[in-house]
A and B are shown apart, each in its own frame.
Chain A
């Protein structure tokens, strides 16, 4: 069984890799297996985790025993019925006549997503980031650990330049996103600096992405030549 397993895995791995040469039946076969298996996988997992694990056991809690063997009864969570109701309304789509009902759960989901994320992002992405940008540029009063004396400690040039760069970058980056003013004149030039910073950001992302993708490939190579063929220690 172990041998079959490794060979199946290797067969499918090479099937996907063969796409690099060109589209071919081996790839198409692997791809179809992939689509079928993955759709089925999520179908099953969502059923057991959410419909059964969340809804069913929440509404009809199974009996549990504590260490002493006493039965612990949990109160059924009636709120879960609302979820099930929304889900069933969703399935109304299967009957074309009642398809419009599915708009209600959709409206519900859209509304709650909008409400929830508004606050979450606002606090983490806006408030915290603004707060994080406010910092002294040149130095600050600190307690000297050696003498215990409180004195002004200037930052190193490295930090000062860095802090200035963060300040300028954040500021000009925001200017770039301004919608109410055409990018012209001084404003345009500032926005241009902003886009430079954005480009550096993207460049760094690109660099890291290369790194990440290569790592994944390395992992697969380790499987093919190590686990499968045993050529790598």
Chain B
């Protein structure tokens, strides 16, 4: 059989399999998959053995094909989804700081939440958004949502739906415009923040649903940042936390914390240390820690096991690669600075 034919065969098989599973899902005769603890441990051992095999192969001088690396990463991320193992989560100081700041807010405080990310970063930030909103709504904090990214308010809407679906939140009979409001997106990056410092309504004359700003009881009296008790920024890049800190915190003295993608988080530590940010959630584990603190487990906690496995695998790859490199006597020096 030719290479081409094999490839087509594999694609075809995947297609047929997924159609069957999909029909099963729709028809209800295939349910969710879950490994028992025993099976989970067996799977973990298998993953470990595969790593050992890779180490041995690499030490013998045969670098693995990229595709094997890829396949392995895929397995290490997918399999933990089905495992039933729990792990202990530890709270970092900057997450605690955020939680303490929130706890210090009296009921009725106005919290501004800016959604500055788009769907590609949602896996990291959506869990934070959901648990943050859920916490605020449960604790009678008034939530004002906005976005500096065009897709932000759409993400906010999804997060709100998730938060409102919580039975305890439902019991509170919260009302749009009174307990929470979504002001929508405004183009202009940091200039939006700057003008909000003077007048929020000028930037958001109408909310996401098209109602006029002054018709919304929650924000009618919110003139500018001085009426905001705490701000939380969910950020995946530019414009994001850096701009909020530079403009809203440095110039207008807004009290704020942030949730960032893990990539961005390291830069923000400088701001946390300098006191410009009150609390920081960094990446998936920031979300999981916050969920633990607030006692509202959500997606962050659910994804955390896969996250742990993925980290272990990457670390294993670094070790394997370097073990081979060190034993082979550092032959291949690269061009340039050699850093």
Q: Residues on A close to B: CB < 8 A?
A: 3, 7, 10, 14, 20-21, 24, 26, 45, 49-50, 53-54, 64, 66-67, 120, 123-124, 128-129, 131-132, 166, 199, 201, 204-205, 208-222, 225, 228-233
Is there a chain A Cβ closer than 8 Å to B275's Cβ? yes
Q: Residues on B close to A: CB < 8 A?
A: 7, 11, 14, 18, 21-22, 24-26, 30-34, 66-67, 70, 73, 77-78, 81-82, 120-124, 126, 150, 187, 190, 205, 212, 214-215, 242, 245-246, 250, 261-263, 265-266, 270, 273-276, 282-285, 303, 306-307, 310-311, 314, 339
Query: Which residues of B have CB within 8 Å of A217?
Result: 73, 77, 310
Taking a contact as CB atoms under 8 Å apart, the answer to whether B25 and A222 are in contact is no
| Majority SS at the chain B contact face | helix
Taking a contact as CB atoms under 8 Å apart, the answer to whether B78 and A221 are in contact is yes
Query: Which residues of A have CB within 8 Å of B26?
Result: 3
Query: Which residues of B have CB within 8 Å of A222?
Result: 81, 123, 303
Taking a contact as CB atoms under 8 Å apart, the answer to whether B123 and A124 are in contact is no
- Number of A-B residue pairs having CB atoms within 8 Å of each other in the complex: 139
Taking a contact as CB atoms under 8 Å apart, the answer to whether B303 and A208 are in contact is no
Taking a contact as CB atoms under 8 Å apart, the answer to whether A215 and B124 are in contact is yes
Taking a contact as CB atoms under 8 Å apart, the answer to whether B266 and A204 are in contact is yes
Name the distance in Å between B63's Cβ and chain A's nearest Cβ: 17
Known: A212-B262, A231-B32. A219 touches B187 (CB 8 A): no
Taking a contact as CB atoms under 8 Å apart, the answer to whether A231 and B33 are in contact is yes
Name the distance in Å between A10's Cβ and chain B's nearest Cβ: 7
Name the distance in Å between B60's Cβ and chain A's nearest Cβ: 25
Known: A20-B70, A212-B124, A222-B123. A129 touches B274 (CB 8 A): yes
A-B contact pairs, 17 of them (CB 8 A): A53-B187, A124-B245, A204-B266, A208-B265, A211-B283, A211-B285, A212-B283, A215-B303, A216-B124, A218-B306, A222-B81, A228-B18, A230-B30, A230-B31, A231-B21, A231-B82, A232-B33
Query: Which residues of A have CB within 8 Å of B73?
Result: 217
Name the contact of A232 in the complex, choosing from B81, B120, B212, B261 (C-beta under 8 A): B81
Q: Add 13 more A-B contacts to A215-B303, A217-B310 (CB < 8 A).
A: A20-B66, A54-B187, A123-B246, A124-B246, A205-B263, A210-B314, A211-B262, A211-B284, A212-B262, A214-B284, A215-B283, A230-B32, A232-B81
Query: Which residues of B have CB within 8 Å of A53?
Result: 187
Name the contact of B122 in the complex, choosing from A201, A205, A219, A228 (C-beta under 8 A): A219
Query: Which residues of A have CB within 8 Å of B282?
Result: 208
Q: How far does the alpha carbon of A222 sit from the alpha carbon of B32 in the complex, in Å?
A: 12
Query: Which residues of A have CB within 8 Å of B123?
Result: 215-216, 218-220, 222
Q: How far does the alpha carbon of A74 sit from the alpha carbon of B190 in the complex, in Å?
A: 24
